[in-house]
Structure 1
Amino acid sequence: METEIEIKFLFSADFEQELFNTIKSQQVISTKEQLLHNVYFDTSDRSLRKMDMGLRVRSCDNRSVQTIKTSGRVIGGLHQRPEYNEPIEGGRPELARFNSKIWPDECDIKALENELVPIFSTDFTRQTWLLEMSEATLIEVAYDRGFIEAKQDKKDICEIELELIKGDEKQLFILAEQIALLPQVRLSNVSKAQRGYMLGDQTEFVVKPLLESPLLPSMSIAQALMTNIQHGLRHIQYHENCYLESYQDAALNELVVGIKFVHQNLSLFKDHSPMLLKAPWIEGLHWLARSFSWLELHSDNQNLLNNKGYYLRKITKYKKLLKQIEQQDNSLPSQESICALLHSSRYCQFVLSLTQWLIQLEKNTFASEKSHEIKEFACQRLSEVWQSFREVLQNHGDNQLLAYQGLLEGNLLMGLSVANLFSHDDYFNFYAPWLDIKQGLKELSMIKIVDDFAEIETDKARQLDYFRWIKRKQESLSHALEQSKQQALLKESFWNEKLSD
């Protein structure tokens, strides 16, 4: 058995000469080029996928090797997964050749083998270079160009893989930092096999809401921090892939939710881990948040423009207003600029830096910390932030609530950070009215856009019409917000008196 430690990048062949120049600047021990044909097998009901296994037969230089990869993990662009390799004759897998210990006890190997069918194939040219780095470290760089094919559908492959052969893992990241400077490169948390299964099953990335972080009451605070940051990073990278395949605004919105979730966890854990705010990736996180600060305005604009301005239909002459909103929206960053950002060296370096930090955090010894302490910590922090927000609600009118929209969203994300430690029913019961308030504040921000245009409207009759509409909307919304606010303030905190559970 071997455990691969790899960093994977998606790349553009337009810039392969820059890649070659970067590699030539290193100490190259050897190089070679191969044509690889790989067929991936599973049963029709995906038995291997259900066991978190991947099986392929690779043909190269008139030899065949079957490989099975068992459950591993991906952090950012770092892939770690145990794999087993066995030479075979022909192109059909022979499962009995693998170590029997890899299979679940109840697994009938012969029956499983008889049900195997090809799911997809990959064909690519692989150029490899073996590099000698500092600290007696060897790293293999592989540059793959080709395609994935399933059911007559094809997807291109253009990837760079850095695999640690032996030595210091830090050297892997040092080399990765240089690769991250190349144009049109981004870290990949999706393997060729995952892309192949999606092609074979005709599935695609779909937008998903951020779920509760998978914390356990037995965790230490440091383990909880690591788990939450990984949870946020996965959400960011998943919706990065989703956006670049579909260009959906909803995918970009969820990517930003992931950014905010990571940022909120800085607030959650900063007092416990004072050095957290000095982590090397923090500046990149703030840059990324600033880069998407326009997205909420875009979302509000789109809501106002939907269905030919249906929301504004009771304004007598609203077509001019629609044109103004559309012009404002067209001035915001374009699809091309968003794609350029997600393929930029700066974004790639942010994800790489965060990945390396997470790996290092995991390696730190948590033995000095108490386990089972995260629940007490969560209760304390939730009490602090929600008490502060309740005071805001009680001391300010609804017309001032919009200024605290970000604070409410932060509190809701903090709830998602620790919700798994408590009763889900209690959690959802507590948050329901707060989510209603969040939706009401979203509508208030849409009304604010109309108010801004009303202020600069030179036609007095049209301006008066705008102001009347704004007043009606605000009065109606204020009543609904007040009801939700009163319900929210009466809810018992879901984290109170839970420490004995």
Structure 2
Amino acid sequence: MGIEREIKLALPAEQADAAIRYFMERAGKAGRDVPLDNVYFDTPALALTQAKIALRLRRTPDGWLQTLKAAGRAEGGLHSRHEWEVPVAGEALEVDSLAAACDDAQALAVLRRAAPELIPLFRTSFTRRLWRLAVAGGARIEAAIDRGEVTADVNGEVRRAPISEIELELLHGDESALHALAADLSSKVPGLAPEDVNKAQRGYRLRAGV
């Protein structure tokens, strides 16, 4: 089990170039583009989201991954939650292997109960530009700019919502380094705002017509 700690910032589309320049200057390189396609699963009665759990299947350039994220908290753009990630052979969930990796009894029980009824609910498709940054105090942070969209097929109607955000994930070191980097970035790139709604929550809202 790992605890993911990251700050999410809503990025106005017109400020994307400014954000890219900021990270290029900090990292001394152009960054790496990674295309990511994700399918989120739940039961028709939304048993997972009611338990504050997200289940995702992700296609990366290196293969497929399935991820379970348990209840966490989000405040001022800082997201903290437990997560378990396991590689899979293809575009299909392997619940048994994910269950074997999950060491939280409550999350595991919810997953086991939901497993027979799991269906794909919505997708996110975006390009992630990545940088690894070494910052003061020896902390290491992965900075990402995500741009793409969320889509949900609801009774034959395809609903869409844009994705344009920055994620700053703490890889090593003190959490204060995240806040310091976010503050410096916000002072250089106008219009950034803390984003407390993650991509999974955005997908559920899209399905609900919000």
Give me the TM-score of the superposition, normalised by structure 2. Answer: 0.89
Tell me the CA shift for residue 29 of structure 1.
Answer: 7.5
CA distance in 2, matches of 1:139, 1:100: 25
Aligned match for 1:113, one of 106, 112, 115 = 115
Tell me the CA shift for residue 46 of structure 1.
Answer: 0.8
Counterparts in 2 of 1:153 and 1:22: CA distance versus 1, 3 Å: same
Counterparts in 2 of 1:109 and 1:166: CA distance versus 1, 3 Å: closer
Higher strand share: 2
What SS does the aligned partner of 2:93 have?
coil
CA distance in 2, matches of 1:196, 1:28: 35
Aligned match for 1:174, one of 180, 184, 197 = 180
Q: How does 1:280-429 map to 2 (within 5 A)?
A: none
What SS does the aligned partner of 2:178 have?
helix
What SS does the aligned partner of 2:44 have?
coil
CA distance in 2, matches of 1:60, 1:27: 23
CA distance in 2, matches of 1:105, 1:130: 31
Tell me the CA shift for residue 146 of structure 1.
Answer: 0.2
Q: Tell me which residue corresponds to 1:137.
A: 139
Letter matched to residue 141 of structure 1: A
Q: Note if contact 2:51-2:110 (Cα within 8 Å) is conserved in structure 1.
A: no
What SS does the aligned partner of 2:26 have?
coil
CA distance in 2, matches of 1:39, 1:199: 14
CA distance in 1, matches of 2:43, 2:29: 41
Count residues in correspondence.
203
Q: Find out whether 1:82 has 2:82 as its counterpart.
A: yes
Please identify, of 53-62 and 108-117, the stretch whose mean Cα deviation from structure 2 is larger.
108-117
CA distance in 2, matches of 1:113, 1:167: 36
What SS does the aligned partner of 1:65 have?
strand
Q: Tell me which residue corresponds to 1:262.
A: none
Counterparts in 2 of 1:172 and 1:156: CA distance versus 1, 3 Å: same
What SS does the aligned partner of 2:21 have?
helix
Higher helix share: 1
CA distance in 2, matches of 1:196, 1:40: 8
Q: Tell me which residue corresponds to 1:48.
A: 48
RMSD: 2.0
Q: Tell me which residue corresponds to 1:64.
A: 64
Counterparts in 2 of 1:15 and 1:43: CA distance versus 1, 3 Å: same
Tell me the CA shift for residue 40 of structure 1.
Answer: 0.2
Q: How does 1:203-352 map to 2 (within 5 A)?
A: 204=210
Q: Tell me which residue corresponds to 1:24.
A: 24
Aligned match for 2:192, one of 185, 193, 198 = 185
Q: Note if contact 1:93-1:113 (Cα within 8 Å) is conserved in structure 2.
A: no
CA distance in 2, matches of 1:55, 1:109: 9
CA distance in 1, matches of 2:107, 2:4: 25
Question: Which sections of structure 1, spanning at least 5 residues, go unmatched?
Answer: 205-501
What SS does the aligned partner of 2:86 have?
strand
CA distance in 1, matches of 2:178, 2:106: 33
What SS does the aligned partner of 1:195 have?
helix
Letter matched to residue 93 of structure 1: L
Q: Tell me which residue corresponds to 1:39.
A: 39
Question: Which sections of structure 2, spanning at least 5 residues, go unmatched?
Answer: none
Tell me the CA shift for residue 132 of structure 1.
Answer: 0.7
Percent of residue pairs identical: 34
Tell me the CA shift for residue 25 of structure 1.
Answer: 3.0
CA distance in 2, matches of 1:7, 1:106: 26
Q: Note if contact 2:24-2:30 (Cα within 8 Å) is conserved in structure 1.
A: no
Cα deviations by residue, 1:207-256 (Å, 9 ceiling, x for unpaired): xxxxxxxxxxxxxxxxxxxxxxxxxxxxxxxxxxxxxxxxxxxxxxxxxx
What SS does the aligned partner of 1:34 have?
strand
Q: Tell me which residue corresponds to 1:164.
A: 170
Counterparts in 2 of 1:144 and 1:105: CA distance versus 1, 3 Å: closer
Cα deviations by residue, 1:122-159 (Å, 9 ceiling, x for unpaired): 00000010011111111111000000000200000000
CA distance in 1, matches of 2:102, 2:191: 43
**Higher RCO, 1 vs 2 (CA within 8 Å, ≥6 residues apart):** 2
